[in-house]
DNA sequence: ATGAAAGCGCTAACAA
DNA sequence: TTGTTAGCGCTTTCAT
C-alpha cells in the first residue's frame, strides 16, 4: 500500500506538501505541485480514508437505514441515496432495520461509530421522541417519508393526502359514484393520510363513502385479495376502488377477476406508489407516482449539507407532491 | 465523543487495560475487568472504527457492487449480503456500477481506500483478465453469478443450464411437443447457458427446436412482448414457451393475451429467476427459482472468511442448483 | 513556499 | 496482571 510518505520521499518533498497538493491548497509552487502530482499518478497513491476520518473526525461516508432493501420501494430509495452520495463523492453504508426500532437504533449507533455524519433514515414505527433525540445528536440525520414538525427542516416527505385526493378526483371525473377503499389495518402515517385525502375529495363532491365500503387488511398482495373478498361478501357495490398501495391494488385485481368482475370495465382500480409491479400487472395499473428515488437523492444531498454545515439552519420545507400515472385499470363508470 | 482514554481515566486504569477488556483479552484481573466494563457502559463508550481500521489495517466493513440496486434482483442480492454481513458484525458499503466497467472498477478502488478486505461483486461485462487481476490483488473478492475456472473457489454461481433443463423437462412431462424460446440478444453468460440447457433437454427427448422458434430480444418486459410478436408474425406454432427470465416471460404473456391466446390453456409459459413480479402477474408465473438472497449471504460469509484468512485456500465449489416453482402459467399440452 | 511536529483513537509489542 | 510506548496515515498548526 502506497502512503503519503512514499509519495513525499519519491517527490523529494515533505508529507505536508503532498497533503497540500492533494487538497489543492494554495501555498505550493507550481513546479513542486506538478512534480508531486506526477508521482501520485505514477505510484497510484490513494489517500487512506480511515486515517483521514480519524484526524478530521468526519468521513465521506453516509448511511441509509431502511426496513428491508430487497423490497422494491426501499431498493429505489437506496438507489436514490447512492446516486446522491456518488455525486458528492460519498460512499454509502446500508442497513436493514427489519422494522424493529431496536435494530434501527443499533444500525444508527454503528453508523456513528464509523464517524458518519449524514444518515438517511426511513422509520415507520419509532416514536417521535426517539427520533427527536436522534436528530438532536446527529445534525446530518434526515428522515424520509415522515414528517415531524419540530424538525421539519430535516424531513423529506410526500403529500400523501393530496396524492389520494388526485386519485379520487380522477375517478370522480370519470363518472364514478360508488366507491370502496381498501387500506391498511395500521392507520398511523401514510394509510391515515391517504384515507383522509380520499374522504375529503369525496366530501367535496358530495359522494358518500359508507364505513362498510372501507375495508382494512394487511398492506400487501394477500391483504388486497382478502379485503376485496370481504367487500364482496358484505355485498358492497362499487365501481371504483382505491387501494392503499400498489400491492393491495394488484391483490384486489386478482380477487375481482376471480369473482368474475372485469377491471376496468366493471370496476376501476387505483393504486399508490407506482412500483415496478404496476407496470407489469394486467391491466397495467393506474396509480399515484411516489417519486421515492428522486426524494432519496434530494434527502441525501440535504443530509450531506447538514452533516457538513450543522449550523446552516435553512428553514426550507421538503415536501414532494405526487402525481397520477394513467394506465389501464381505470375506465369511465359503467353507463357514463 | 467518549474515547478509550476517558474510560481509562474514570476507571483508573491504563488504556491498554481497557483495550484488553474490549477484546476479551485474557490477562485482566476479574475485579478490574468488571470495573472497566461498568465504566464503559456508564459512559456509553463505543470504539471508533476508523481508528481501529487505521492501526489494524482492516475493517469490519465490506462492499457489495452490483449494477443497480433498485432492480429487484440486485435488491435481493444486496439484502442477502447485508444479512451475511450483519451476522458477522460487519457493515456493508454498496455501490451501483450502472453496468459500466469503469464505475465498477472505481467502486472497487474506493472500497479499497476504505480498507475493505471483502468485496462481493456482480459483474456481467468485465472481462476475465480484469477480474482475475482484481481477485489476485484482493483476497476477499468474491464473484457472484459468474464462473471463472481459474478462481473457482471465489465464484458463487448458479447452474443455469440445469435450471433450464428442469424447466424444459417439466414442459415435456406435461406433454408439450411444440416449443419456442425467447432469449437475450446477448448470449454471453446466463442466456447462453440457459439456452444450452433447453437444447440438451429437448435433444434428449427427441423434440425438435427449429431455429425459427428461437427469438432474441432485450431481456426485459418489452423484449418479451416483441419477441412473441415476432414469433407469431413468423407463423411459428408452439404450445410451450421458455423465456430467458421472468420479465421476458411476463412480456410474453401480455403479447400472447393481446393476440387472443390464453395462458396456460393455449400456451404454457415458464420464466427464470422467480422475482417478486412472478407472484404478482396473472396467471402467476411458473418459473425457475434463483436463490439469489441465499447465494449472496453465502458469498458474503465466504468473502469475509477469505478476507480474514487469505491463505485458507479451501477448494470447495460454490455451485447452487435452482429448482422449479410450479404456479399457474403451465398446463398440459392441448389434447393431452 | 515548504518543512517539522503534534496528535486523532486505537492496538500491540515490550516492560515491569 | 498491568502500564508505557511506538506507531497506523493523515491533517494542521506553527516555524522557517
**CA atoms of B194 and B13, how far apart (whole Å):** 64
pLDDT at A61: 96
pLDDT, average across residues B154-159: 97
Relative to beta strand B91-96, strand A91-96 is: antiparallel
Q: Are residues A223 and A296 in the same domain?
A: no
pLDDT, average across residues B314-323: 89
Q: Are residues B208 and B234 in the same domain?
A: yes
Contact A78 B69 (CB under 8 A): yes
pLDDT at A238: 98
CA-closest candidate to residue B49, choices B82, B90, B11, B20? B90
Q: Are residues B304 and B265 in the same domain?
A: no
Q: Is B71 on the interface with A (CB under 8 A)?
A: yes
Q: Are residues B105 and B178 in the same domain?
A: no
What DSSP character marks residue A249? H
Q: Are residues A176 and A119 in the same domain?
A: no
pLDDT tops 80 at residue B315: no
Determine the 3-state secondary structure of A3 from DSSP.
Answer: coil
pLDDT tops 80 at residue A313: no
Does residue B11 belong to any structural domain of this protein?
Answer: yes
Q: Is B280 on the interface with A (CB under 8 A)?
A: yes
Q: Are residues B41 and B103 in the same domain?
A: no
Report how far apart, in Å, the C-alpha atoms of B208 and of each of B179, B182, B335 are.
8, 16, 19
Give pLDDT tens digits for B267-305: 999 999 999 999 999 999 999 999 999 999 999 999 999
Does residue A56 belong to any structural domain of this protein?
Answer: no
Lowest mean pLDDT among A300-304, B124-128, B238-242, B322-326: B124-128
pLDDT at A323: 97
Q: Give the total number of structural domains in chain A.
A: 3
Note whether A184 and A217 are within 8 A (CB): yes
Residue B336 pLDDT class (50, 70, 90 cuts):
confident
Residue B155 pLDDT class (50, 70, 90 cuts):
very high
Which residues, in sequence order, are bridge partners of residue A140? A118
Q: Are residues A144 and A125 in the same domain?
A: yes
Q: Which of A280, A293, A329 to mutate to test the interface with B (most CBs of B within 10 A)?
A: A280
Q: Are residues B143 and B168 in the same domain?
A: no
**CA atoms of A279 and A292, how far apart (whole Å):** 16
Does residue B80 belong to any structural domain of this protein?
Answer: yes
Cβ of residue A53 near strand C, that is under 7 Å?
A: no
Query: What is the average pLDDT value for chain A, to the nearest integer?
Result: 95
CA-closest candidate to residue B319, choices B288, B286, B295, B285? B295
Does residue B333 belong to any structural domain of this protein?
Answer: no
**CA atoms of B28 and B40, how far apart (whole Å):** 15
With pLDDT > 90 as the criterion, what percentage of chain B qualifies?
Answer: 92
Determine the 3-state secondary structure of B258 from DSSP.
Answer: helix
Positions of strand C less than 7 angstroms from a protein CB: 1-5, 7-13
Residue B312 pLDDT class (50, 70, 90 cuts):
confident
pLDDT at A315: 75
Residue B316 pLDDT class (50, 70, 90 cuts):
confident
Q: Which of B45, B52, B69 to mutate to test the interface with A (most CBs of A within 10 A)?
A: B69
pLDDT, average across residues B28-49: 94
Does residue A77 belong to any structural domain of this protein?
Answer: yes
- Listed in sequence order, the residues at least 6 apart from A136 whose beta carbon sits closer than 8 Å to its beta carbon are none
- Listed in sequence order, the residues at least 6 apart from A48 whose beta carbon sits closer than 8 Å to its beta carbon are A1, A3, B54, B113, B115
Does residue A266 belong to any structural domain of this protein?
Answer: yes
Give pLDDT tens digits for B56-97: 999 999 999 999 999 999 999 999 999 999 999 999 999 999
Cβ of residue B3 near strand C, that is under 7 Å?
A: yes
pLDDT tops 90 at residue A327: yes
Q: Are residues B22 and B111 in the same domain?
A: no
How far does Cα B178 stand from its chain's mean position? 33
What's the CA B320/C1' D14 distance, rounded, in angstroms? 62
- Starting at the edge strand found earlier in the chain, the sheet holding B140-144 runs A319-320, A155-158, A140-144, A118-121, A61-66, A91-96, B91-96, B61-66, B118-121, B140-144, B155-158, B319-320
Place of cell 458499503: B93
**CA atoms of A158 and B85, how far apart (whole Å):** 32
B233-247: b or e for each residue (b if 16 or more CB lie within 10 Å)?
A: eeebebbbbbbbbbb
pLDDT tops 90 at residue A336: no
- Listed in sequence order, the residues at least 6 apart from B34 whose beta carbon sits closer than 8 Å to its beta carbon are none
Which residues, in sequence order, are bridge partners of residue A214? A181
Residue B9 pLDDT class (50, 70, 90 cuts):
very high
Residue B311 pLDDT class (50, 70, 90 cuts):
confident
Q: Could you list the protein residues whose CB lies below 7 A from any atom in strand D?
A: A 1, 3-5, 15-16, 19-20, 22-23, 45-48, 51-52, 54-56; B 12-17, 20, 26-29, 31-33, 51, 54-55, 57
pTM equals: 0.95
Q: Are residues A177 and A191 in the same domain?
A: yes
Nucleotide nearest to A20 (CA to C1'): D11
Q: A164 lies in which domain range?
A: 160-290
Q: Are residues A212 and A169 in the same domain?
A: yes
With pLDDT > 70 as the criterion, what percentage of chain A qualifies?
Answer: 99
Residue closest to sugar C1' of D6 by CA:
B55
Does residue A332 belong to any structural domain of this protein?
Answer: no
Q: Is A92 on the interface with B (CB under 8 A)?
A: yes
**CA atoms of B69 and B67, how far apart (whole Å):** 7
CATH number at residue A36: 1.10.260.40
Residue A230 pLDDT class (50, 70, 90 cuts):
very high
Angle (deg, nearest 10), helices B72-87 and A72-87: 80
CATH number at residue B317: 3.40.50.2300
Note whether B104 and B97 are within 8 A (CB): yes
Relative to beta strand B214-217, strand B240-243 is: unpaired
pLDDT, average across residues A167-175: 98
**Residue A137: CB atoms within 10 Å:** 10
**CA atoms of B159 and B272, how far apart (whole Å):** 12
Does residue A116 belong to any structural domain of this protein?
Answer: yes
Query: What is the average pLDDT value for chain B, to the nearest integer?
Result: 95
- Starting at the edge strand found earlier in the chain, the sheet holding A286-289 runs A214-217, A179-184, A240-243, A268-273, A286-289, A323-325
Cβ of residue A34 near strand C, that is under 7 Å?
A: no
Return the C-alpha cell found at B127: 472481462
pLDDT, average across residues A167-181: 98
Give pLDDT tens digits for B245-274: 999 999 999 999 999 999 999 999 999 999
Q: Are residues A150 and A235 in the same domain?
A: no
Query: Which secondary-structure segment (H or E) carries A216?
Result: strand A214-217
> Number of H helices and number of E strands within chain A?
13, 12
With pLDDT > 70 as the criterion, what percentage of chain B qualifies?
Answer: 99
Note whether A11 and A39 are within 8 A (CB): yes
pLDDT at A35: 95
Amino acid at each position: 500500500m502506497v502512503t503519503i510518505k512514499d509519495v513525499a520521499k519519491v517527490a523529494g518533498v515533505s508529507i505536508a506538501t503532498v497533503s497540500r497538493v492533494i487538497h489543492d491548497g494554495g501555498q505550493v509552487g507550481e513546479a513542486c505541485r506538478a512534480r508531486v502530482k506526477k508521482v501520485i499518478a505514477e505510484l497510484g497513491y490513494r489517500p487512506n480514508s480511515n486515517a483521514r476520518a480519524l484526524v478530521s473526525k468526519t468521513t465521506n461516508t453516509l448511511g441509509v437505514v431502511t426496513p428491508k432493501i430487497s423490497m422494491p420501494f426501499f431498493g429505489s430509495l437506496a438507489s436514490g441515496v447512492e446516486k446522491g452520495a456518488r455525486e458528492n463523492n460519498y460512499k454509502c453504508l446500508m442497513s436493514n432495520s427489519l422494522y424493529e426500532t431496536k435494530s434501527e437504533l443499533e444500525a444508527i449507533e454503528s453508523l456513528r461509530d464509523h464517524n458518519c455524519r449524514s444518515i438517511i433514515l426511513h422509520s415507520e414505527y419509532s416514536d417521535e421522541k426517539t427520533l427527536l433525540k436522534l436528530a438532536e445528536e446527529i445534525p446530518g440525520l434526515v428522515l424520509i417519508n415522515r414528517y415531524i414538525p419540530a424538525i421539519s427542516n430535516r424531513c423529506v416527505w410526500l403529500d400523501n393526502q393530496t396524492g389520494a385526493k388526485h386519485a379520487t378526483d380522477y375517478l370522480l371525473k370519470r363518472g364514478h359514484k360508488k366507491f370502496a377503499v381498501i387500506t391498511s389495518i395500521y392507520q398511523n402515517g401514510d394509510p391515515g393520510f391517504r384515507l383522509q385525502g380520499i374522504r375529503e375529495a369525496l366530501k367535496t363532491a358530495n359522494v358518500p363513502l359508507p364505513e362498510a365500503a372501507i375495508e382494512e387488511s394487511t398492506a400487501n398482495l394477500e391483504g388486497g385479495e382478502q379485503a376485496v373478498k370481504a367487500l364482496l361478501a358484505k355485498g358492497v357495490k362499487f365501481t371504483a376502488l382505491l387501494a392503499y398501495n400498489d400491492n393491495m391494488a394488484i391483490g384486489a385485481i386478482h380477487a375481482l377477476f376471480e369473482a368474475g368482475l372485469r377491471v376496468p370495465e366493471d370496476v376501476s382500480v387505483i393504486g399508490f406508489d407506482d412500483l415496478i409491479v404496476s407496470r407489469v400487472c394486467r391491466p397495467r395499473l393506474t396509480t399515484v407516482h411516489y417519486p421515492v428515488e428522486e426524494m432519496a437523492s434530494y434527502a441525501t444531498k440535504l443530509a450531506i449539507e447538514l452533516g457538513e454545515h450543522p449550523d446552516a439552519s435553512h428553514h426550507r420545507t421538503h415536501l414532494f407532491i405526487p402525481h397520477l400515472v394513467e394506465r389501464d385499470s381505470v375506465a369511465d363508470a359503467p353507463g357514463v
